[in-house]
Structure 1
Amino acid sequence: MNLEAHYKNLYEESIQKISNDDYQIDDLIHSPLDNRFGITLLARPSKKVKNEIQKFLSKLKTIEPNQYYYANSDIHITVMSIISCYDGFMLKDIELPEYIKHINDSLIDDSNIEIKFKGITASPSCVMIQGFMNNESLNKIRNKLRDNFKNSTLEQSIDKRYAIQTAHATVVRFTENLSKKSDFLNLIENHKDHNFGSFKIKTLELVYNDWYQKQKHVKNLFSFNL
């Protein structure tokens, strides 16, 4: 996949929709009744990179303070959604050691994964930081995960929503109508090529999580060293 072209197309299509008020408001993000949980293999940016993201988010907050902005603790890259969040999922229903084994078997030697966070993209429901990989190691791990889990009898929903190939991080979700839409979009446009920094992925985390990866709901199940 040409990530740069993919992000660019997504940005242009989504910004056009948002400009036309054709965007999606998340009604569940603050709901105490949201009971969607799952398990995810993820990576986290460095503190330095996350702090650079927060500088950008602080500017957006001055324009649209009531949207949902990700805290540093929640910013992540999804390596693979092993079990996509659904209402009623509970850890006691799965054999966790088997999941850990399958993930361990999917890791590769000398992965040397570095991610550059540069530029902004969007969807009709959120704003994302573009992530670019220095090699194919992350996607090799993803492909091995696909093979190992799909050849098992374990509960999984890999690729059910879409086949993940990017390294983006969601940082804003829309929770109400944009009151200063033009100013908001202008600020995003001015940062669409901003360099947020690079970081090496040395650890992957298997977590039990809600839909938004809120720290108060996330439980670390196992950490894998690369």
Structure 2
Amino acid sequence: MNLEEHYNNLYNTSIEKIKNDTYHIDTLIDSKSDNRFGITLLLRPSAAVKTNIQKFLSELKAIEPNQYYYESTDIHITVMSIISCYNGFQLNQINIQDYIEVIKQSLIDSPNIEIQFKGLTASPSCIMLKGFMNNDALNSIRDNLRQNFKTSTLEQSIDKRYAIQTAHATIVRFKNKLENKNEFLKTIEAFKHHNFGTFQVKKLELVYNDWYQKEALVKKLFQFEL
């Protein structure tokens, strides 16, 4: 996959939808009765990179304060959605240790993963950072996870929504109608190629999570050192 091309196609299609008011508003973000949970293997950017992201989000918040902006604690890259969030999923339905063992078998030696967040992309419901990997190690781990979970008897929904190959991170979701759309889009365009920084991936986290990865609802199950 040509990541740059993929991100740019997403950006162009989605920005057009935002301009035409055919973007998607998420009505469940503030819902107290949202009961969608799952388990995810993820990684998190460095503190320095998160600081850069928050500077940008501060500019957007000043223009559109009524949207959903990710806290630094919640910003992540999904390595693999192992059980995609669904209504009523609870940890007591699975044996966590079995999942930890399959993930351990799927890791590779000395992956030396570096990720650069450079520029923005979008979907009809959110704004995302474009993440670029320095090698194929992350996708090799993903391929191992696919194979190992496929041959296991564990509950999983890997690739049910889409086969993940990117290193993007969602940072804004639309939860209300955009009130200052032109100004908002102008700022997005200004940061379209902005370099938010590069970080080394030293660990992966297996978490029990809600749809939005809100810190208050996320439970860390295991940390894998790379």
TM-score range, shorter chain: over 0.9
What SS is found at the alignment partner of 2:116?
A: strand
The residue that corresponds to 2:185 in the other structure is 185
Amino acid at match of 2:216: K
Distance 2:155 2:29 in 1: 26
Q: CA deviation at 1:120?
A: 0.3
The residue that corresponds to 1:74 in the other structure is 74
Amino acid at match of 1:62: A
Superimposed CA distance per residue, residues 128-171 of structure 1 (whole angstroms, 9 cap, x where no aligned partner): 00000000000000000000001111000000000000001000
| TM-score when normalising by structure 1 | 1.00
Amino acid at match of 1:156: Q
The residue that corresponds to 2:44 in the other structure is 44
The residue that corresponds to 2:142 in the other structure is 142
Q: CA deviation at 1:58?
A: 0.2
Distance 1:91 1:122 in 2: 32
What SS is found at the alignment partner of 1:105?
A: helix
CA RMSD of aligned residues (A): 0.3
Amino acid at match of 2:21: D
What SS is found at the alignment partner of 2:66?
A: coil
1:195 aligns with 2:199: no
Distance 1:56 1:192 in 2: 11
Q: CA deviation at 1:123?
A: 0.3
Distance 2:225 2:133 in 1: 18
| TM-score when normalising by structure 2 | 1.00
1:62 aligns with 2:58: no
Distance 1:2 1:202 in 2: 25
The residue that corresponds to 2:102 in the other structure is 102
Which consecutive unaligned segments of at least 5 residues does structure 1 have?
none
What SS is found at the alignment partner of 2:162?
A: coil
How do 1:164-183 and structure 2 match up within 5 A? 164-183=164-183
The residue that corresponds to 1:158 in the other structure is 158
What SS is found at the alignment partner of 1:8?
A: helix
What SS is found at the alignment partner of 2:22?
A: coil
What SS is found at the alignment partner of 1:22?
A: coil
Superimposed CA distance per residue, residues 81-120 of structure 1 (whole angstroms, 9 cap, x where no aligned partner): 0000000000001011110000000000010000000000
Segments ≥4 residues shifted beyond 2 Å: none
The residue that corresponds to 2:208 in the other structure is 208
1:24 aligns with 2:24: yes
Which consecutive unaligned segments of at least 5 residues does structure 2 have?
none
1:117 aligns with 2:120: no
The residue that corresponds to 2:33 in the other structure is 33
Distance 2:90 2:11 in 1: 35
Distance 1:150 1:51 in 2: 38
What percent identity do the matched residue pairs reach?
69
What SS is found at the alignment partner of 2:6?
A: helix
Amino acid at match of 1:24: H
Distance 1:207 1:22 in 2: 33
